């Protein structure tokens, strides 16, 4: 039986984040049903050199996109007797993931090895590496 009852999955819709979801679902299946929680967090990182109206449009579009993806994830979790939470945060992905894990008392964070953009990874550094360094709990990087 797994000791990781409260799982956080960082999800951006990339293939590696789908691998993180699959890993988290397998972990959740090993937990007692009454203690299962799955948290799916997506983070919008708006452009820094943009007008406020542009930033708001980027955030609104991303939120709508992630809500559609969250509906698909809820469908994947329907066979688990688990509480499912979804949230879209705004800011630097690694910081927001670590903050969420700490505030919600998550036992495990699951992230994909690589996100949507290699260019973004180059500019920001590896989000998964930063999450592993700063999260207050165990971090699994799914490949």
Distance CA 119, CA 96 (A): 20
For residue 78, is it within any domain? yes
Q: For residue 78, what are the domain limits?
A: 6-142
For residue 1, is it within any domain? no
Q: What pLDDT, in 10s, does the model give residues 20-63?
A: 999 999 988 887 766 789 999 999 988 777 677 788 888 999 99
Q: Which H or E run contains 40? A: strand 37-44
For residue 136, is it within any domain? yes
What's the number of domains the chain is made of? 1
For residue 70, is it within any domain? yes
Model pTM score = 0.87
Residues 6+ apart with CB under 8 A from 134: 94, 95, 98
For residue 105, is it within any domain? yes
For residue 131, is it within any domain? yes
For residue 60, is it within any domain? yes
Compute the radius of gyration of the chain from its Cα atoms. 15
For residue 52, is it within any domain? yes
CATH value at residue 11: 3.40.50.620
Q: What pLDDT, in 10s, does the model give residues 98-140?
A: 999 999 999 999 999 865 555 455 444 588 889 999 999 999 9
CB 110, CB 9: distance < 8 Å: yes
């Amino acid at each position: 039986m797994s000791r990781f009852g409260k799982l956080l999955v960082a999800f951006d819709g990339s293939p590696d984040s789908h691998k993180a979801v699959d890993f988290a679902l397998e972990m959740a299946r090993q937990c007692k049903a009454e203690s299962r929680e799955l948290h799916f967090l997506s983070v919008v990182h708006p452009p820094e050199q943009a007008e406020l109206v542009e930033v708001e449009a980027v955030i609104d579009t991303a939120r709508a996109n992630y809500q559609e993806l969250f509906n698909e994830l809820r469908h994947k979790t329907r066979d688990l007797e688990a509480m499912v939470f979804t949230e879209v945060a705004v800011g630097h992905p690694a910081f927001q993931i670590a903050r969420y894990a700490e505030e919600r008392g998550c036992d495990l964070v699951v992230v994909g090895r690589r996100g949507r953009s290699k260019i973004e990874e180059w500019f920001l550094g590896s989000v998964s590496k930063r999450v592993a360094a700063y999260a207050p709990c165990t971090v699994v990087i799914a490949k």
